[in-house]
Amino acid sequence: MHPARFVSYCFVYSGALLVAMHLLLFSPGRWLVTIGNAATGLIIVATGGYRIVSERGEQSPEKYSLITYVMGAFALLVTALFLVALSIAW
């Protein structure tokens, strides 16, 4: 898989997980925080979707070396936070 496509999929996955987390763990007392974080997740999903659709002028794989690992680690971190939040809430 091309590193640019992997980074785009990580954007979509992480954003979708953030939106799901705030929809599942909605708290009426923290509605502003929930709306803000869910909106951030939607922006991340939109960014990833735009990157997947546009695919014009992709950079060479050498330029994606560090960001590929960072986005993979970020996706794992978001997954861990999602699972911890679900285990605490339920």
Give pLDDT, residue 58: 62
State the pLDDT at residue 62: 67
How many domains, in total, are found in the chain?
1
CA–CA separation, 18 and 41 (whole Å): 5
Between CA 85 and CA 90 the distance in angstroms is 9
Could you give the C-alpha distances from 88 to 33, 44, 56, in angstroms and in order? Answer: 18, 25, 43
pLDDT surpasses 80 at 1: no
Q: Round to whole Å and give the CA distance between 26 and 33.
A: 10
Model-wide pTM > 0.85: no
d(CA 5, CA 48): 9
pLDDT band for position 77 (cuts 50, 70, 90): very high
Q: Which pLDDT does position 59 carry in this prediction?
A: 64
pLDDT for position 61: 64
Higher pLDDT among residues 17 and 28, named by residue: 17
Q: Which domain holds residue 22?
A: 3-89
* C-alpha span between 63 and 90 (Å, rounded): 42
